Structure 1
Amino acid sequence: MKGLKLAESYYWNIGRPVLKQRFPQILSHLATGLFGDGSECLEFDDDISQDHDFGPGFCIWLDKEDYILAGAQLHTIYTQLPKEYLGFSSRSVSPYGNDRVGVMEIHEFFSRYIGDEQPPKSLQRWLSLPEEKLAALTSGKHFEDTKGTFTWLQQMLSYYPEDIRLKKLAAKAAKMAQSGQYNYGRCMQRQDIVAANFALNEFLDNAISMIYLLNRTYCPYYKWKFKGLERLSLVRDAGALILELAETDLQKYAWQQTHFTNWNPYLNLVDKKVRLIEEICRLCLEELEKQDLIVKIENVMNLYPTEIIQKIQDPLLREIHILIG
């Protein structure tokens, strides 16, 4: 059973009946569900995931006033719930998995991920928030939210303001160009294999982030970035190319003689990795054009970040360095 379904079943069949019996008045003051860190919130968990931070459990969120009045009593009730359910033993909590379930104050819970300003009040604040934290806050499921505070705050964070998305798209395009279409070739010319691998990793990271932005979906924690692509509807063909690029052996032999085009010494198409990089860039550029963000002229990512920046409405955001985002 997936962790999210286990949590929901545990709440409705074990947790809620106990709350209704022992503390019925609290049911009109709480939100319950499972959001935050953990593969089960993304529904990516499998048998391997069950070795830590997995098992029966759910979250109870209260606003500050209710938490002061009822938090301690609720915590006592929660800790007395059965530890085993449907054949699953109690949660095995790792040093990194503390406080993923249990009784929490809403503001404090959101503060772990985005700080005290909830929701962000400025575009500059939005730009500074770690995307994987926003993904965690919006990945999971509500079971109940009788007051609506938790749901409202989540809706305010459901996705970036459009100006922020544009700023990030411009930055990802610039970084894809810098790492994949430029520095990878430079490193291979020098036979600096470690640096070339760093460049490839940078390209893969930014290309995947670009695809999430094109789909208007938060990019999750690095371990699940690639897997999450299978759920996205736009630029779907890039997933297979990204996998092939990661699996392809380093092409050292392709850089032992001159294979470069005259206009671009780093576009060495004898190197299969270069061909894959170019194809991934092409797919991303085509989608950028479909979204009316660029007019595609050549398959050179570095031509387009400034064009994307000009679509931003906020003048202060337009002035922030191109690579920030």
Structure 2
Amino acid sequence: MKSFIPGIELSRCFYEEVVAKLVNEPHAAALIGEGSEVLGFDQPRSTDHSWGPRMQLFVRSSQVEAVRLSIEDRLPATFKGFPVQFHSLQTGTVRHHVEVTTVEEWVAAQLRIDSFTEPTVEVWLSMPQQHLLQFTSGAVFRDDSGELTRIRERFSWYPADVWLWMMASQWHLIGNVEPLLGRTAEAGDTRGSILVSCRLVRLIMELCFLQEKRYWPYMKWFGTAFSRLFIAPQIGPILDRILQSPDQQSRENGVTEALEIVARRHNALGLTRPVLPRSEPFQVGINNAVRPYRVLNTGQYVQACKEAIADETIRKLVHVGAIDQLTHADDALINFTSWTERLKFGYRAETDAASLQPD
């Protein structure tokens, strides 16, 4: 039985030992895009479907067909015991997974943007983090022109103002949900209270990704990716206790403790004026009503983030969040519908409206 080789390592060896010798043109070679191996999460289980050495070869548009032909019939049937050819259920054909294309074509197909144009605010907000993660993860084996590396660096993280607005949105989402933890329990809805605590754990984890400037992956790898964050050893056990707590008070205490950690982490980033984390009874905001469930002063973190945004239009946007904060952004939505494009137009309409608002 062949031993498991991580996909990036396998593909790198395949490029260096086989593919590189077949390409005589300036090119870039990489393993990016879909696949658990691109994210570094592949395991022996991953080998049960379409598993083997694969990569993208990026060449000039005038050389795409010639390079395709140069490797088409010259690849081995197997490499280190793994198949090189794969059967496609969609097309009914058997072929290798060495994709020959241009950087521009690949970016246009995968990110649905023009690689030569600086992304606008609405483009950033409508790009799923899974797509951004797939493009900026993986490995580049060679890059003669440096073009692929430059574009990957451009998309390595959000522009500062977009980042601040997304964090403002995340604090807003947390602030909307936190008081529901106590209210559902008070109403005798234990199941609802548990669901709210789960939602808060998810929102806190997302905020941790944002604070560490790391794109989060889709659900299968969300927890795995979170475990690799710098803050995970500190806050992870607290989140686990929230999920396992048998009573509402324990859940509330855990949420308070976790939120105070990310609040202090927010201040440590130095992106906004410092905000002292403070947990106090929930103020409804109508008729001076105050309820006994403790909540963090999330609104002050929202305000601090917005104050730090330099772009006036972005600052005026209602903090509903980018696509991954606004929707479930699963595989069907981001890969098989036009919703990301529609959201881009929606965000554009919002930015246009915000630009007309008085100061």
Q: TM-score normalised by the shorter chain: which range applies?
A: 0.7 to 0.9
Residue among 52, 55, 72 paired with 2:52: 55
Residue 206 of structure 1 deviates from its aligned partner by: 2.0
Match of 1:189 in 2: 186
8 A Cα contact 1:34 1:101, kept in partner: no
Query: Residues 37 and 197 from structure 1, CA distance in 2 versus in 1: closer, same or farther, beyond 3 angstroms?
Result: farther
8 A Cα contact 2:86 2:97, kept in partner: no
Match of 2:315 in 1: 318
Match of 1:137 in 2: 135
Tell whether 2:116 aligns with 1:115. no
Residue among 70, 74, 99 paired with 2:67: 74
Aligned residues: 293
8 A Cα contact 1:241 1:280, kept in partner: yes
Render the CA deviation track for 1:42-96: whole Å, top value 9, x for unaligned.
Answer: 111111111224211111123xxx23x2222322344431231111224656779
Give distance in 2, aligned partners of 1:70 and 1:221.
35
Match of 1:210 in 2: 207
8 A Cα contact 2:85 2:97, kept in partner: no
Residue 150 of structure 1 deviates from its aligned partner by: 1.3
The TM-score normalised by the length of structure 2 is: 0.74
8 A Cα contact 2:85 2:96, kept in partner: no
Residue 32 of structure 1 deviates from its aligned partner by: 0.4
8 A Cα contact 1:171 1:323, kept in partner: yes
Match of 1:260 in 2: none
- Partner amino acid for 2:263? L
Residue among 261, 269, 289 paired with 1:291: 269
Tell whether 2:125 aligns with 1:102. no
Residue among 147, 157, 160 paired with 1:159: 157
Residue among 81, 85, 88 paired with 2:82: 88
Provide structure 1 residue ranges, at least 5 long, that are not aligned to the other structure: 255-267
Give distance in 2, aligned partners of 1:91 and 1:204.
43
8 A Cα contact 1:31 1:147, kept in partner: yes
The TM-score normalised by the length of structure 1 is: 0.81
Worse-matched range after superposition: 181-190 or 217-226: 181-190
Residue among 8, 17, 20 paired with 1:16: 20
8 A Cα contact 1:54 1:91, kept in partner: no
8 A Cα contact 1:183 1:199, kept in partner: yes
8 A Cα contact 2:54 2:98, kept in partner: yes
Give distance in 1, aligned partners of 2:256 and 2:105.
45
Residue 116 of structure 1 deviates from its aligned partner by: 2.3
Tell whether 2:9 aligns with 1:5. yes
Query: Residues 295 and 190 from structure 1, CA distance in 2 versus in 1: closer, same or farther, beyond 3 angstroms?
Result: same
> SS at 1:283's partner residue?
helix
Query: Residues 297 and 202 from structure 1, CA distance in 2 versus in 1: closer, same or farther, beyond 3 angstroms?
Result: closer
8 A Cα contact 1:175 1:203, kept in partner: no
> SS at 1:276's partner residue?
helix
8 A Cα contact 1:214 1:288, kept in partner: yes
Give distance in 2, aligned partners of 1:10 and 1:193.
54
Render the CA deviation track for 1:100-141: whole Å, top value 9, x for unaligned.
Answer: 751122122112343223354323322222122111110011
Identical counterparts, % of pairs: 21
> SS at 2:119's partner residue?
coil
Residue among 239, 252, 255 paired with 1:277: 255
Query: Residues 100 and 109 from structure 1, CA distance in 2 versus in 1: closer, same or farther, beyond 3 angstroms?
Result: farther
Give distance in 1, aligned partners of 2:240 and 2:85.
34
Higher percent of residues as strand: 2
Give distance in 2, aligned partners of 1:31 and 1:148.
8
Match of 1:177 in 2: 175
Give distance in 2, aligned partners of 1:106 and 1:242.
41
Match of 1:264 in 2: none
8 A Cα contact 2:111 2:132, kept in partner: yes
Cα root mean square deviation, aligned: 2.6
Match of 1:309 in 2: 306
Provide structure 2 residue ranges, at least 5 long, that are not aligned to the other structure: 280-295, 323-359
> SS at 1:304's partner residue?
helix
- Partner amino acid for 1:73? A
> SS at 1:109's partner residue?
helix
Query: Residues 165 and 77 from structure 1, CA distance in 2 versus in 1: closer, same or farther, beyond 3 angstroms?
Result: same
Query: Residues 99 and 18 from structure 1, CA distance in 2 versus in 1: closer, same or farther, beyond 3 angstroms?
Result: closer
